[in-house]
Amino acid sequence: MPTADCFGPSQQKLAAVELDAGIFGVEVREHLLHDAVLMQLANRRRGCASTKSRSDMTGGGLKPWKQKGTGRARVGSRRSPLWRGGSTIFGPKPRSYEYRIPRSARRGALCAALSLRVSEGKLVVVEGLGLEAAKTKALREALTRMGVQSALIVYAGEDSTTSRAARNMPAVKALEVGGLNVFDVLNHEHLIVTREALDAIGKRLGAS
């Protein structure tokens, strides 16, 4: 059964915590991680790029010169894509890049990401971070005592103290357990989970 280090509120090391093998001890299938990350990055795209086609431009209703007799190429509009200042052919238009992979694949990818951190020994369970106020300095000192620099902190319920303390730390991010995702797990070196969040993850991913 997989285990993880556990730290108390004062960052004292406690007995290791046993983890659910069905969530934290699964086979790491890289193609699922790849698909999940691609989906998340695609869903973040704004898709607001826009160019003008011939129908979007003003002017060009008058034929620049007559069809024959000038020796020049025939032209029907000043909005031609061949002209400087003309329209664009097949240019981008505002659209959504969003798509979804199957639910079972999303669950499998998240379990694979969690299992990867466990296998690396970089998943840490905490009874609490011991923050009395939302102070970045206090959070940085707590992480340093645990030997952590880059971390994703996952908590259950509302914890404005931790989230506000992590706001000014570029290498640290705090998320409520409902927002746990593959990209953020892989984008940080360590994964720090509170005891309450660990139970919530079990309830969220326990059913196949």
> The domain that contains 24 carries what CATH number?
3.40.1370.10
Same domain, residue pair 125 and 184: yes
Structure tokens that stand for 161 in this block: 């103290």
* Length reported for the chain: 208
Judge whether 163 lies within some domain. Answer: yes
Same domain, residue pair 107 and 134: yes
Structure tokens that stand for 4 in this block: 């993880």
Judge whether 39 lies within some domain. Answer: no
Judge whether 38 lies within some domain. Answer: no
Judge whether 174 lies within some domain. Answer: yes
The position carrying tokens 């086609």 is: 53
Q: Which of 110, 127, 99, 133 is nearest to 195 (CA)?
A: 127
For range 108-122, the mean pLDDT: 94
Burial of 54 (0-12, 13-18, 19+ CB in 10 A): middle
For range 170-178, the mean pLDDT: 92
The position carrying tokens 């020796």 is: 71
For range 111-128, the mean pLDDT: 92
For range 15-23, the mean pLDDT: 89
Same domain, residue pair 82 and 107: no
Domain that holds residue 198: 3-30+102-205
Same domain, residue pair 106 and 174: yes
Same domain, residue pair 125 and 66: no
Same domain, residue pair 156 and 185: yes
Same domain, residue pair 81 and 154: no
Contact of 200 with 156, CB cutoff 8 Å: yes
Same domain, residue pair 109 and 164: yes
Same domain, residue pair 51 and 15: no
Same domain, residue pair 57 and 149: no
Structure tokens that stand for 97 in this block: 């890049």
How many CA atoms does the CB half-sphere of 31 hold within 13 Å?
1
Residues 31-68: pLDDT tens digits?
999 999 999 999 999 999 999 998 888 888 889 999 99
Structure tokens that stand for 205 in this block: 């991913």
Same domain, residue pair 80 and 140: no
Domain count, the chain: 2
Same domain, residue pair 92 and 133: no
Q: Which of 83, 189, 160, 87 is nearest to 174 (CA)?
A: 160
pLDDT for residue 208 is more than 90: no
